Amino acid sequence: MFKKLAFSFKTKFYPIKANINSKGEKIYHCPEGRLYYSVKPVDYFKNEKQAERAGYRKSKI
């Protein structure tokens, strides 16, 4: 229950999910992105600008 609540909090207040792919590229995903719900994030951000400042690029898909 706690994990589900924590995940819900993160996605509500930090909707941008970020991960690192097999090539080592840092990629972030927005809620409207096709892969958003299948991503296993290593980081969360409030907005795209924060993700980009952290060195992530927007997903091309």
Domain boundaries, the chain: 16-58
Q: Which two tokens stand for residue 45?
A: 């951000």
> Mean of the pLDDT values across residues 31-57?
96
| Predicted structure pTM score | 0.84
Largest CA distance in the chain: 34
Hey, what amino acid is at 56? Y
The most confident of the ranges 1-5, 11-15, 17-21 is 17-21
Lowest mean pLDDT among 11-15, 22-26, 30-34, 53-57: 11-15
pLDDT 10s digits, 23-39: 999 999 999 999 999 99
Question: Distances in Å between the alpha carbon of 14 and those of 5, 6, 17, 23, 24?
Answer: 14, 11, 8, 25, 23
